[in-house]
Amino acid sequence: MDHRHLDVYLLRCLQALVSEAHVTRAAERMGIGQPAMSATLARLRVLFADPLLVRTQKGMVATPRAQEVADQVQHALELIDQALTEGAPFDPARARAHFRIAASESVGFLLMPALIARLRACAPAVQVSVHPPELPRVRQELEEGEADLVVAFLRNAPQGLRSTSLMQQKLCVIAAQDHPDIRGTLSLAQYVGSPHAMYALGRTGGSTIETLVDETLSRAGMVRAIGARLPSTLSSPAVVAGSDLLATIPERIARHFAQQLALQVLAPPLPLDDVHTSMFWHERMQNNPAHRWLRQQFKQVAAPLAAP
């Protein structure tokens, strides 16, 4: 394919065609007539040597090649838009931005409902994609544009990133109300001797909080027993409520589930650091109007939770 015959307009048309899977709707999206979009599709088919859209009994369907190209050019078009609008005021009511947020599970539970409700009310065309952060690759995710913002508890944040604190909370231990050995207080011997429900990342690694707990115990020459490795910290309360397991989780999550499940919320019998949830972003996004707006939205939804 001769790339010299491609321009930004053609790529936007391709993206519209793949997204809408309908020539007329793609034309309306681009503000042109249906015949003009049909002619553009014919030109794109020649340039890519691929049908791009094929007719089926259920309507038009993008070919694998069309989907692959559309996925790759989306980020490029966002970078172009960013370069052209840098410094211009961000109008959330009219914006069609796509934000990629790497957020920890507790952030997803505590902040994302309010954030997305806020965005839907004031920026209905803004799209948000949320995925768990890859802790060893936080800086790389931000540098390479895989994430616009990382919102998480990072004990050792990578150097060279911008950041601001959103909220902090203590860690609590939860146990079943009818636990056979624990009644309202928790000793260190009980904590170490009882099996724990652990939030596991992958087959072997633990979350930042689980690592914090194990390192604190290790400094005292202790190791806790693990009774279950769970793929989600939000599954811990239900598991704990129906068993003799303990779990160490952020206080606000613990107290939320204690209102619904038969749980005791206990102070940890060892000195654990508070959980500080912060936003992290790359320097290149510092002055981007859309990014500044997104960070402000996070601050506002976190404000009611910001006090310890």
Residue 23 domain-assigned? yes
Provide the Cα torsion 120, 125, 126, 128; round to 10°. Answer: 70
CB 143, CB 279: distance < 8 Å? no
Residue 238 domain-assigned? yes
Instruction: Look at residues 51, 85, 119 and tell me which one is the last residue of a structural domain.
Output: 85
Write the CATH number for 123: 3.40.190.10
Write the CATH number for 78: 1.10.10.10
Q: Are residues 57 and 76 in the same domain?
A: yes
Q: Are residues 139 and 112 in the same domain?
A: yes
* pLDDT given for residue 203 in this prediction: 58
Q: Are residues 292 and 164 in the same domain?
A: yes
* pLDDT given for residue 76 in this prediction: 76
Q: Are residues 147 and 217 in the same domain?
A: no
CB 177, CB 130: distance < 8 Å? no
Q: Are residues 178 and 164 in the same domain?
A: no
Q: Are residues 156 and 239 in the same domain?
A: no
Residue 139 domain-assigned? yes
State how many domains the chain has.
Answer: 3
Q: Are residues 200 and 259 in the same domain?
A: yes
CB 199, CB 227: distance < 8 Å? no
* pLDDT given for residue 31 in this prediction: 84
CB 233, CB 256: distance < 8 Å? no
Rounded Cα gap, residues 236 and 216, in angstroms: 21
Q: Which domain holds residue 140?
A: 98-168+276-305
Specify the pTM.
Answer: 0.70
Q: Are residues 66 and 22 in the same domain?
A: yes
Rounded Cα gap, residues 226 and 216, in angstroms: 16
Q: Please say whether the dihedral angle defined by the alpha carbons of residues 225, 229, 233 and 236, taken in this order, is positive or negative.
A: negative
CB 207, CB 155: distance < 8 Å? no
Residue 299 domain-assigned? yes
Q: What is the mean pLDDT of each run of 10 residues along the chain (308 residues)?
A: 70 88 88 90 90 87 88 75 66 89 92 95 93 87 88 86 92 96 94 94 74 94 94 94 96 95 96 93 88 94 81
Q: Are residues 60 and 107 in the same domain?
A: no
Residue 92 domain-assigned? no
* pLDDT given for residue 222 in this prediction: 95
Angle value at C-alpha 253, between 273 and 207, nearest 5 degrees: 55
Residue 90 domain-assigned? no
What are the tokens at 126? 């803004």
Instruction: Look at residues 34, 60, 85 and tell me which one is the last residue of a structural domain.
Output: 85
Residue 298 domain-assigned? yes
Q: How far is CA 51 from CA 2, 65, 74, 93, 190, in A?
A: 17, 9, 20, 36, 66
* pLDDT given for residue 4 in this prediction: 61
Q: Are residues 287 and 152 in the same domain?
A: yes
Q: Are residues 52 and 197 in the same domain?
A: no
Residue 91 domain-assigned? no
Strands 275-281 and 263-266: unpaired
Q: Are residues 299 and 164 in the same domain?
A: yes
* pLDDT given for residue 230 in this prediction: 93
